[in-house]
């Protein structure tokens, strides 16, 4: 039996188990958090009181809207449930650290591009008064924002490897980081619209940015990266383990670039057709949340169809992999940690079904099912590393946890 089960399971194979490394990583993360938080606090402190009021009201609305995709991610993670605090930490990385670190880099790069446009007035003649932002957005934001978000997913991959089992885990972590980014960014755009035009674009910004029930934009970009990073634990092919995370990051960067480059491409197409450049500095259209949500969802499905397909395929294939691993690894546990009736339910499990144990309270059933699935995934991880699961401490710990749960029931 593990001496400290909760911590040993979480930190199995993690560099955090070494005191010196744990202290160094803790200090580094605390420094990064302090820098990001100070940047955000300075930004909020610089707002006029009325702008800050709009921002915090938009943040409250953003919090309500974020509950929908979080609930979906919680459902997707049902077969091997992560702890709620890990959900919160990954969301918080996107909301605080990624946004805080990206802000000064984006601002600095925009200043450089604006200075270059000022020295090349022909660009403003072609693209209009927003030439600087049109040119900067497809370059700075995709690189800076996707890298800062990806660092959060990589931190879980490196520090909490025992909690990172497959593509679905990767998608969940990535989408949570991206969702956290959207949670903070959307209110900033609402406040920016109010500061610039005197009218807060509530419906336009919140409806569009939470299109596809929150799985557009940042959640989709970083979710795809996380899913392909999780493929490292699903395949035994060495070349695919190396290539998958690189392709995932390239897809995230490409999708973000495409998203930010559209205004520039439309302006260039209009200039080629002899149309006058966009006038710029116009208030966004006054549309309600529902209309913006529907329009944004249809636009995202059309514009990002290949990426939506990749995201859907990753979730589908990860579900197939999960059910197969659970079925194969628990077959030899029948009569040991799984009863024949329970294994029959394992075999009959399907994509949208959640296995429950009959004649048992919902919470106790969920805990026992989760422990059985954790046992299956750990056994597969050990086998893939060329070791014997019967000699693994974490495998033994999950078997002991299953026996403990049955004794409590």
pLDDT digits (tens, 9 = 90+) for 103-116: 999 999 999 999 99
Q: Please give the mean pLDDT across all residues of the chain.
A: 91
pLDDT digits (tens, 9 = 90+) for 296-338: 999 999 999 999 999 999 999 999 999 999 999 999 999 999 9
pLDDT digits (tens, 9 = 90+) for 147-164: 999 999 999 999 988 888
Please list, in sequence order, all residues whose beta carbon lies within 8 angstroms of the beta carbon of residue 70, skipping any fewer than 6 positions away. 87, 91, 176, 179
CA atoms within 13 A on the CB side of 194: 22
386: left (phi over 0), alpha (psi -120 to 50) or beta: left
pLDDT digits (tens, 9 = 90+) for 342-378: 999 999 988 888 788 877 888 888 999 999 999 999 9
pLDDT digits (tens, 9 = 90+) for 376-386: 999 999 998 88
Rounded CA-CA distance 25/239 in Å is: 30
Rounded CA-CA distance 91/176 in Å is: 5
Question: What is the reported pLDDT for 8?
Answer: 62
Query: Domain extents for the chain?
Result: 5-317, 334-408
> What's the whole-model pTM score?
0.93
């Amino acid at each position: 039996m593990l001496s400290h089960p909760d911590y040993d399971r979480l930190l199995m194979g993690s560099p955090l188990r070494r005191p010196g490394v744990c202290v160094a990583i803790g200090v580094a993360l605390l420094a990064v958090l302090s820098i990001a938080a100070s940047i955000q606090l300075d930004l909020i402190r610089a707002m006029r009181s009325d702008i800050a009021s709009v921002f915090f009201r938009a943040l409250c609305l953003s919090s309500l809207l974020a509950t929908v995709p979080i609930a979906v991610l919680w459902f997707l993670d049902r077969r091997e449930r992560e702890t709620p605090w890990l959900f919160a930490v990954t969301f918080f990385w996107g909301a605080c650290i990624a946004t805080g670190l990206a802000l000064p880099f984006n601002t600095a790069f925009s200043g450089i591009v604006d200075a270059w446009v000022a020295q090349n007035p022909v660009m403003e003649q072609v693209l209009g008064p927003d030439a600087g932002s049109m040119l900067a957005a497809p370059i700075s934001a995709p690189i800076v924002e996707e890298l800062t978000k990806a660092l959060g997913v990589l931190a879980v991959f490196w520090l909490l490897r025992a909690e990172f089992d497959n593509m679905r885990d990767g998608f969940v972590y990535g989408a949570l980081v991206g969702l956290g980014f959207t949670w903070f960014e959307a209110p900033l755009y609402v406040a920016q619209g109010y500061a610039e035009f005197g009218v807060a674009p509530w419906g336009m910004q919140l409806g569009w940015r939470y299109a596809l029930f929150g799985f557009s934009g940042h959640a989709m970009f970083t979710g795809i990266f996380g899913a392909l990073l999780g493929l490292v634990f699903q395949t035994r092919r060495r070349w695919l383990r190396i290539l998958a995370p690189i392709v995932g990051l390239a897809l995230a960067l490409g999708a973000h670039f495409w998203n930010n480059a559209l205004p520039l491409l439309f302006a260039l197409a209009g200039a080629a057709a002899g149309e006058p450049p966009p006038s710029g500095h116009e208030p966004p259209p006054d549309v309600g949340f529902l209309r913006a949500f529907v329009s944004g969802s249809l636009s995202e499905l059309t514009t990002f169809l290949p990426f939506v397909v990749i995201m859907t395929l990753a979730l589908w294939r990860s579900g197939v992999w999960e059910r197969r691993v659970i079925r194969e690894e628990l077959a030899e546990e029948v009569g040991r940690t799984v009863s024949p009736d329970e294994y029959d339910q394992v075999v009959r499990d399907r994509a949208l079904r959640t296995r429950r144990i009959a004649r048992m309270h919902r919470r106790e059933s969920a805990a026992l099912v989760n422990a059985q699935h954790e046992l299956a995934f750990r056994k597969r991880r050990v086998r893939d590393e060329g070791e014997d699961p019967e000699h693994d401490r974490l495998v033994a710990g999950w078997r002991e946890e299953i026996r403990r749960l049955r004794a409590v029931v």
